[in-house]
Amino acid sequence: MRVLGIAGSPRRDGNTDLLLNEVMKGAASKGAEVKTIILNQLDIAPCQHCDAC
């Protein structure tokens, strides 16, 4: 089985990341092939929660 985790929060190391990491660890421990995509690291505009606006 393959599991894709997508972190969509603009904030790194918050609750979303913590929960996603635990889910992915659990899936990997059961033999799943896991991959995580962190949208904040991709070049996607406009909001990066920089508070500039």
What total of structural domains would you count in the chain?
Answer: 1
Quote the pLDDT of residue 12: 87
pTM above 0.85, yes or no: no
The answer to whether position 29 is within a domain reads: yes
Q: Which domain holds residue 7?
A: 2-41
Instruction: Write out residues in the chain with pLDDT < 70, as ranges.
Output: none
The answer to whether position 47 is within a domain reads: no
The answer to whether position 50 is within a domain reads: no
The answer to whether position 46 is within a domain reads: no
The answer to whether position 51 is within a domain reads: no
Quote the pLDDT of residue 40: 87
Q: What is the DSSP string of the chain?
A: -EEEEEE--SSTTSHHHHHHHHHHHHHHHTT-EEEEEEGGGS---S----S--
